[in-house]
Structure 1
Amino acid sequence: MLIGLRIENFALIDQLDVTFGPGLNVLTGETGAGKSIILDAIDGVLGGKMSSRVIRTVPETQPNQIPPRTLIEATFSLTPALQTWLTAAEIDPLDETIICSRELSLVGGAFRSRSRVNGVLVNRQQLQSLRDLLVAITAQGQANQLLQAGQQRDWLDSFGGRELLVARKQVATAYAAYQHLCQAQESYLQGEQQRLQQLDLYKFQLQELRLANLEDADELQHLEEEFRRLNHIEQLQSQGFRAYQCLCEQERGQASVDLMGEAASLLQEMQAFDPGVAPIQELVESALLQIETASRQLRNYTDALEGEPQRLTEITDRMGHLKQITRKYGPTLQDAIHYQAKIEQEWQLLQATSMSQDQLTAQLQAAETQLDQACQELHHLRQQAANHLSQQLISQLQPLAMERVRFEVQFRAIPPTSHGADQVTFMFSPNPGQPLQPLSETASGGEMSRFLLALRACFATVETVNTLIFDEIDVGVSGRVAQAIGEKLYHLSQHQQVLCVTHQPIVAALADTHLRVQKKVLEPEQQTIVQLLILNPDQRAAELAQIAGGVNEQPALDFATALLKQAQELRQSLGTNQTTPKPKRTRKPTPA
């Protein structure tokens, strides 16, 4: 159950820290006092949609104040289902509680929202799965959803329990497979010509690339180097021979080898008189050895140079071929090699996906049969759930001043979808003599409120949440009906915690915990804030008198006292509240 709620800088709330009790918790206050803000905060902390507008604004008298951040923190008691969720999410528990928090801020004009569970960041999908285990919020505004056939179908499926939901998932899987084959057949019929054209194109390109024998990405660079060498063979021969002459042959005086040899001999003789020239002599001898080696290699190089006209022609042709390949599939040879590998794979894929029309038709028929069978099984389970829902819903509506009500779930066959082959319509007749008609066409506002409450009471037997929240579910009903609604809420609170926003004193009198929401204007800031006060018995009587008559005069107070006495007698007739006692509240600091 919801143990406590802490709110900072949310809408009109400056700072609020409230503890909720087991059983029936009622919130009352003037219209516009901010009751719905409390419920919006609970919805928001559990992943409801929020915008930057909910962040409390800075007072005009404090223009230099740092824009506030909004923080909402809800503490719930730990249950086995929640423990399982925490284990799956790899989040440590906090004693006997679980703390959900959400922080909203504006940073540089950008809206930021962070949600945490026990201090650990969680995403929206995780929070939604957790929300389904924590609370169920019912508001009169949900009537618009209830009037939609799709919503009625979803609620029926939820009421049907795990077996029905598994069957619905199987339908969704079968439908997805069927749709995939339908799309495959359509693609086959529309794209076979395109596929064959693509195969022909790939076939031509692969033939061209395979004949090019592309293996070395640097082949073109090597060929260009060899081409330059062969194309300048005569120049290389002439310059190589001239270089050899400079080293070894005497022309214009002595050769370099002879000069270096003579210098080495002279230095050898000089050592007899000065040993200090030995290092110089060693350098000269080393240089002489290198010149002799270079001259021999240069001679061999020039002798080996030969013109190769045929090889030059081959290189020219190959370079032209490779450059044509790079223009079409490049811009580099490496790119062309990669492209060849890519279309090799696509060629194989296109060939592998080639399937005859007969094969597709056979698979499509098998998928359609499987989908029909899954839809039939789902329809059978829905009929069972509809019978149970009708019986329970009527039994829940009768105490709500609808003794002669009739209700049925009508099915109409439709083409299969991912939700099955049923159009589900709630048929409703609130008064004797009236035929069953769609709920959307016959229920008044008050009847819709009671229908929502009864529906939620039916779901109390199958859902796992421990906290039910009702937002003005009793709007627009008479005193007798309001009393019936209050008694139904109290009955629910014997097994689940109930939070209820109400304007009905009869309902508020039945509360185990009564909270008053009020607005207050701060001075001198002239800023409006929302406050929440847990009422004691004397304050409750005054509040009920305000709700009933708008004044605290004695007749109104007497009426309020009578309501409280009547509520006490009802409690005694029903026995003490069976809700689990409130566990100790702990809080883990929420990271900034």
Structure 2
Amino acid sequence: MLQSLRIENFALIDQLELELGQGLHVLTGETGAGKSILLDAIDCVLGGKPGGRPIRSGCDRALLEATFALSPDLATWLQEQAIEAIEDSLICSRELVQSSNGLRSRSRVNGVLVNRQQLAELRRHLVEITAQGQTVALGQTAQQRDWLDSFGGESLAKQRQGVALAYAAYREAAQTLETRRQSDRDRLRQQDLDRFQLEELTQAELSDPEELTQLSQERDRLAHVAELQQQSYRVYQALDQSEEAGSACDRLGEAEQGLTQMVVFDPSLQPWLQLLQEAIAQVQEVSRQLYRYGEGLESDPDRLAAVGDRIQLLKQLCRKYGPELKDAIAYQQELQQRLADDNDENQSLEYWEAELAQRQQTLIEESACLTALRQATAQTLEQKLIAELAPLAMERVRFQVELQPLSEPGPTGAEQVCFRFSPNPGEPLQPLSETASGGEMSRFLLALKLCFSEADPVGTLVFDEIDAGVSGRVSQAIAEKLQQLGRRHQVLCVTHQPLIAALADHHYRVRKQVSGDRTHVELEALRDRDQRRQELAELAGGNSAEEAISFADSLLKQAEASGPASTAKPNTNKPKRATKR
């Protein structure tokens, strides 16, 4: 329930503080007096889009603040959003600021900044505003389904929750199965790749990590056979076969003879002689080995080509699986182990296919139970709604709740709900949004709210000129319905009909005042009978003529005779007249 509303510098309102109670609240006043500005402020503070120039002329900032009584649903929402309650209240505020970059706004709940999505979610628990031309929700099948389900009460709500849980379980199994299928496809593709790579590495017959180095050396030797033969012969001659300058062996031999003669006279030179003799033996051995090496060298183009091909293959494998040959060999061993150990996961595809089928069957069964409950609820709603519409000059209306099957069950069941309506005898039933006029839609929604008044969680219902363009008889019926709604909800209604205003629990007059060169909107609570009689007379006749006063008196007497408009608590927080700063 809306407890208070504070407005600063919004449209034509400079400052207004209004405290509200329970029951039916009526706002009256001349056309253009600013009644709808109050409703616009309520809409705006709860996230509605501001009008063309929402900030009062001459100001750069507007503030809107609405305080609501804290219900269990609201307390749960605050807890979910980690927002603390303030003395059992929920305070929504919105600041509008005009800057060079345009209009900016910030919304808070109990002082905590909230985004548009949070505010839209919260609004569904607080206020519902209805005006002619703004009953779009009536034509939305999702909204119609939610209305039908709420009318069905706890049993239907519980079954719908069961469907939602069954659908969640079904979707989980479907996603798991798809993940497993994708994983299985990936695994099989990886197996194919692993087998291909292993075959490639196996065919290469890798074993020695140093093979590439050894082959490179062999390639160099094969590629330079002629040079190696020539150089080995030259070295051989220099060591042992040179005739012109004497070979190294000859010169060393001469040195050995001289050192041998020296040892005769100085035995301490014997170790040097021994070293020289060993050097001569080593030079002679090198000479012999080089001779054999040169003799053994042969040109082998085929082997050279084979070595080159092998080197190219190993380098290619190193680029793919290396960078070193030892890495390629290690990867080959890893592939062998991976393919040997590649077993399917614990739960096979067949398991999850069976699980999906079972959960789908559960969803179908739960949805069928929900459908049966909706069918029974639809019949009750049809009867009750037609009964509520009859006093609103819609005695011969036909109404049907059609359950249109879906191709497969979803989180809200296996059908789409469509309200079908025929206001005139002989005309076929059609979707409500396609056949009802603005006035019919308003009355339909009023009747619908009466049907849902016990289950509807929204505490405050706002009607903006819902009675426009209807006859006096229908106005009287609408007034009685609004009074009836006020017994379970807080109802705010903007009206020009004295028949409706007479039945209000709380009556406010809205008017424009000019102070100096500025216009502002004032709101006055009409607390005594004389004030109300005068206002009703003006609504009825536009002046204070005796006939209008007499009519107003009769309306008040009828209202008094009918007893209190609601079982609502009295408005202990008396409305305050708007003041101007």
Give the shorter-chain TM-score range: 0.5 to 0.7
SS of structure 2 residue aligned to 1:531: strand
Aligned partners of 1:449 and 1:475 also within 8 Å: no
Structure 2 CA distance, aligned partners of 1:195 and 1:55? 62
Once the two structures are superposed, the pairs formed by residues 478-493 of structure 1 within 5 Å of their partners are: 478-493=471-486
Matched, 1:534 2:533: no
TM-score w.r.t. the length of structure 1 is 0.64
Does the C-alpha gap of structure 1 residues 509 and 136 become closer, same or farther in structure 2, counting only changes over 3 Å? same
Higher alpha-carbon deviation: 439-448 or 10-19: 439-448
Distance 1:149-1:71 versus aligned 2 partners, 3 A rule: same
- Does the C-alpha gap of structure 1 residues 190 and 133 become closer, same or farther in structure 2, counting only changes over 3 Å? closer
* Equivalent residue in structure 2 for 1:503, among 496, 500, 503: 496
State how far apart, in whole Å, the 2-side matches of 1:373 and 1:70 are.
54
Q: Note closer, same or farther for the CA distance 1:119–1:547 as it changes in structure 2 (3 Å cut).
A: same
- Structure 2: tracts of 5 or more residues without a match: 202-314, 328-337, 576-581
Aligned position for 2:569: 580
- Contact 1:11–1:53 (CA under 8 A) maintained in structure 2: no
For the Cα contact (< 8 Å) 1:96–1:583, is it kept in 2?
no
Are the equivalent residues in 1 in contact too, given 2:9–2:63 (CA < 8 A)?
Answer: yes
Distance in 2, Cα, partners of 1:116 & 1:517: 28
Q: Does 1:49 align with 2:48?
A: yes
Aligned runs of 1:5-16 on 2, under 5 Å?
5-16=5-16
1:2 CA displacement: 1.8
User: What is aligned with 2:221?
Assistant: none
Q: Separation in 1 of the partners of 2:199 and 2:356?
A: 37
Structure 1 partner of 2:443: 450
Tell me how far 1:484 sits from its aligned partner. 0.5
Compared CA separation, residues 545 and 326, structure 1 to 2 (3 A): farther
The equivalent residue for 1:228 is: none
**Following superposition of structure 1 onto structure 2, how do residues 342-361 of structure 1 map, counting pairs within 5 Å?**
356=349, 361=353
Distance 1:163 1:126, change over 3 A: farther
Q: Residue in 1 aligned with 2:230?
A: none
Change (3 A) 1:40 1:51: closer
Q: Indicate the SS of the match to 2:4.
A: strand
**Matches of 1:472 and 1:3, distance apart in 2:** 22
* Map of 1:119 onto structure 2: 111
Q: What amino acid is aligned across from residue 118 of structure 1 in structure 2?
A: N
Alignment of 1:49-88 (within 5 A): 49-50=48-49, 55-56=54-55, 58-59=57-58, 68-83=60-75, 85-86=77-78
Change (3 A) 1:197 1:82: closer
Equivalent residue for 2:548? 556
Do 2:363 and 2:409's aligned partners in 1 also have CA atoms closer than 8 Å? no
Evaluate the alpha carbon distance shift between residue 386 and residue 58 of structure 1 in structure 2; reply closer, same or farther with a 3 A threshold: same
Could you say if the C-alpha distance between residues 576 and 188 of structure 1 is closer, same or farther in structure 2, counting changes exceeding 3 Å? closer
Match of 1:383 among 375, 379, 388: 375
Distance 1:521 1:138 in 2: 30
Cα distance change of structure 1 residues 350 and 38 upon mapping to structure 2, 3 Å threshold: farther
Counterpart contact for 1:404–1:431, Cα < 8 Å: yes
1:445-490: per-residue Cα shift (whole Å, max 9, x none)? Answer: 3332221111001111112333222222212211100100001111
Following the alignment from structure 1 to structure 2, what is the Cα–Cα distance between the partners of residues 45 and 548? 33
Shift of 1:42: 1.5
Q: Structure 1 residues 448, 110: closer, same or farther in 2, change over 3 A? A: closer
Deviation digits for residues 293-343 of structure 1 (CA, Å, limit 9, x no counterpart): xxxxxxxxxxxxxxxxxxxxxxxxxxx999968999xxxx9xxxxxxxxxx
Within the alignment, does 1:424 sit opposite 2:417 as a pair? yes
Q: Where does 1:192-591 land on structure 2 (aligned, <5 Å)?
A: 196-197=188-189, 356=349, 361-418=353-410, 419-430=412-423, 436-520=429-513, 523-524=516-517, 528-536=519-527, 537-570=529-562, 572=563, 575=564, 577-582=566-571
| Deviation of 1:156 (Å) | 0.8
Indicate conservation of the 8 Å contact 1:405/1:432, yes or no: yes
Report 1:30-49 matches (<5 A). 30-46=30-46, 48-49=47-48
Q: Tell me the amino acid that sits aligned with residue 171 of structure 1.
A: V
Q: 1:52 touches 1:105 (CA, 8 Å); kept in 2? A: no
* TM-aligned CA deviation for residue 381 of structure 1: 1.8
From 148, 160, 163, the equivalent of 1:171 is: 163
Separation in 1 of the partners of 2:381 and 2:438?
22
The structure with the larger Rg is 2
Distance in 1 (alpha carbons) for counterparts of 2:16 and 2:342: 63
The separation in 1 between residues aligned to 2:437 and 2:72, in whole angstroms, is 40
Deviation string 1:368-392 (CA, Å, 9 cap, x unpaired) is 3222112212101212321332232
- In 2: Cα distance, 1:150 partner to 1:350 partner: 48
Q: Give the structure 1 partner of residue 274 of structure 2.
A: none
Calculate the TM-score normalised by the size of structure 2: 0.65
Equivalent-residue separation in structure 2 for 1:106 and 1:199 (angstroms): 65
Cα gap change, 1:533/1:373 in structure 2, threshold over 3 Å: closer, same or farther? Answer: same
In 1, Cα distance between equivalents of 2:548 and 2:117: 49
- Structure 2 match to 1:18: 18
User: Residues 8 and 72 of structure 1 are in contact (CA less than 8 Å); yes or no, is this contact kept in structure 2?
Assistant: yes
Deviations 1:352-402 (Å, cap 9, x if unpaired)?
Answer: 59965x556544433432221122121012123213322322332233334
Query: Could you tell me how far apart the structure 2 residues matched to 1:207 and 1:568 are?
Result: 99
Deviations 1:505-538 (A, max 9, x none): 21112222222233445544xx554332223544
- Summarize the Cα distance change of 1:523–1:420 in structure 2 as closer, same or farther, 3 Å threshold: same
**CA distance in structure 1 between the aligned counterparts of 2:571 and 2:361, rounded to whole angstroms:** 54
- Secondary structure of the residue aligned to 1:460 is coil
- Aligned with 2:456: secondary structure? coil
Deviations 1:427-457 (A, max 9, x none): 3344666665543454343332221111001
Provide closer, same or farther for how the CA distance between residues 200 and 81 of structure 1 changes in structure 2, counting only shifts above 3 A.
same
For 1:585 and 1:134, the matched residues in 2 are separated by 21
1:147-188 Cα offsets, whole Å, 9 max, x none, are 333332221122223432343344344445555666777888
Residues 326 and 435 from structure 1, CA distance in 2 versus in 1: closer, same or farther, beyond 3 angstroms? Answer: closer
Deviation at 1:412, TM superposition (A): 2.8
Aligned residue type for 2:376: Q
Q: Residue 186 and residue 88 in structure 1: after superposition, are their counterparts in 2 closer, same or farther (change >3 A)? A: closer
Contact 2:460 2:489 (C-alpha < 8 Å) held by counterparts: yes
Contact preservation (8 Å) 1:55, 1:68: no
Whole-Å Cα distance in 2 between the matches of residues 559 and 468 of structure 1?
29
Pair 1:324–1:385, CA change in 2 (3 A): same
- Aligned partner (choices 149, 152, 158) of residue 157 of structure 1: 149
CA distance in 2, matches of 1:556, 1:21: 29
- Look up the SS of the partner of 1:141 in the other structure: coil
Aligned partner of 1:545: which letter?
Answer: A
In the alignment, the residues of structure 1 paired with residue 342 and residue 151 of structure 2 have an alpha-carbon distance, to the nearest angstrom, of 47
Q: What SS does the aligned partner of 1:530 have?
A: strand
Answer yes or no: is the 8 Å Cα contact 2:509–2:526 preserved in 1: yes
For 1:17 and 1:23, locate their aligned partners in 2 and report how far apart those are by CA, in whole Å: 19
CA gap 1:5/1:563 in 2 versus in 1, 3 angstroms: same
- Distance in 1 between the 2:186 and 2:565 partners? 76
Change (3 A) 1:49 1:450: closer
RMSD between aligned alpha carbons? Answer: 4.5
